[in-house]
Amino acid sequence: MNKKHYALWTSMTFAASLLLSGCQVLTGYQQIDKADNATVWTNKIQPIDGEVNIACVGTYHCEIVQIDRTLVISSDSHEPVDSRMLATLPSYDSAKSPTVNNTTTAPINIDMKPLIGKKDIKIVPLSASAMPGLTNYYARVMPAKHEVHVNFYPENNRDYVERFAMIHDFVDAGTYQLRAYQKKSATNSGSLLETASPEPLCIDLLQGSQVKRRFCKQLDAEHQGEFVETGMSKASLKVSNDQKISA
């Protein structure tokens, strides 16, 4: 970590509340826009009529840990809590499978049977994570009001987690993404406070390419690092070129 920034942080009276999240921001968040480009894709999002897909992007790794009262991805193992939620590869008959150079190849399509119940949840492997050894998944649910909990990992460090939760009425079927990014200040007066403080982590809820809601982490003492929903101007409702979607 940059020593200059560290010295500035420790000199402030509110350093105790910001060091845990702020100092790590200065290192990990510098790579935040590169982290969502996974090197190996397992399965891209496959929309199904009448269903809602929920994915997270923007950091080294992220995982949907809970939807409503259902645990989804374990924060400890980083894998689905219930294997029955996982959309699995279908079984196949090797005698009928295609061959390449006399070698039998397995089908690569994932079993995407439509959801049946209103409370059904399916987890689908999306991509290899930028954090080695982990996989990114997305969730399939039915349109309804859902409470969604997501863990974001801004650094290549499993011990540093930014926890985010929201309640949203997913009225329309389609693909929604929770995209984390570092908010860039439009102006900077050059004051000691602005120079030392990290740019806050923000999370946009996108429906397709349209930003529906925005949450930014507050670094003031009153909110103690909470994510607070912010207002958005009409000009900010579309994803900018540097906030591309990787699904």
Q: Is the pLDDT of residue 8 over 70?
A: no
With CA atoms as reference, report the closest residue to 213 among 169, 246, 244, 245. 169
Q: What is the mean pLDDT of residues 162-173?
A: 97
According to the model, what pLDDT value does residue 199 have? 76
Tell me the pLDDT tens digit for each residue of 178-209. Answer: 999 987 665 544 544 444 455 789 999 999 99
Closest by CA to 80, choosing from 121, 35, 109, is 121
Nearest to 216 by CA among 202, 226, 199, 205: 202
Across 51-57, average pLDDT: 96
User: In the structure, what pLDDT confidence band is assigned to residue 64 with cuts at 50, 70 and 90?
Assistant: very high
Residue 6 in this model has a pLDDT that exceeds 50: no
The pLDDT-based confidence of 119 (bands split at 50, 70, 90) is: very high
Residue 140 has pLDDT above 60, yes or no: yes
pLDDT of residue 220: 74
Which of 8-22, 87-101, 128-142 is predicted most confidently? 128-142
pLDDT: which is higher, 20 or 108: 108
